[in-house]
């Protein structure tokens, strides 16, 4: 996961917006992903963005992509306690099959 970097922790209050940031290194990545992991569970796909897009909105989720800076962000509007989890940013590397390369994850803590 060294190719993808994320801040490790984010704490917000219920009802606020959360912004989770990620930087990646492979400019040839075609897709970039956000996954959510709750304690003791597998990874749930939240959303993804194609590399030729700048923004994608899906209900409470907004993904912004800055290709020049290789920066990806996930904004969660009206954050709820149920959003508390670890969020992983991932990019596709095509050199070894189609491997997802993950960051270390950002732990989002939502307080009521």
Partner 1 sequence: DAGVTQSPTHLIKTRGQHVTLRCSPISGHKSVSWYQQVLGQGPQFIFQYYEKEERGRGNFPDRFSARQFPNYSSELNVNALLLGDSALYLCASSSEGGGETQYFGPGTRLLVL
Q: Burial, 65: exposed, middle or buried (Cβ in 10 Å; 0-12, 13-18, 19+)?
A: buried
Shortest Å, Cβ 41 to partner 1: 6
Considering only 41, 54, 77, 81, the residue that binds partner 1 (CB under 8 A) is 41
Nearer to partner 1, 4 or 110 (CB): 4
76 binds partner 1 (CB under 8 A): no
Nearer to partner 1, 14 or 73 (CB): 73
24 binds partner 1 (CB under 8 A): no
44 binds partner 1 (CB under 8 A): yes
CA distance 110 to 93: 32
Which has the closest alpha carbon to 103: 15, 10, 7? 7
Q: Is residue 20 a contact partner of residue 73, using CB atoms and an 8 Å limit?
A: yes
Please provide residue 99's backbone torsions phi and psi, each rounded to the nearest 5 degrees: -90, 135
Residues forming contacts to partner 1 in the complex (CB under 8 A) are 1, 4, 30-31, 33, 35, 40-45, 48, 88, 90, 92, 94-105
């Amino acid at each position: 996961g060294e190719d993808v970097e994320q801040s490790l922790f984010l704490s917000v209050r219920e009802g606020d917006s959360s912004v989770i940031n990620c930087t990646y290194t492979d400019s040839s990545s075609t897709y970039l992903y956000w996954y959510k992991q709750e304690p003791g569970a597998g990874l749930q796909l939240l959303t993804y963005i194609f590399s030729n897009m700048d923004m994608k909105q899906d209900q409470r989720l907004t993904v912004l992509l800055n290709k020049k800076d290789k920066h990806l962000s996930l904004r969660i509007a009206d954050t709820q306690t149920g959003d508390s989890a670890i969020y992983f940013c991932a990019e596709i590397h095509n050199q070894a099959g189609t491997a997802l390369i993950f960051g270390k994850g950002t732990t989002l803590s939502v307080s009521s």
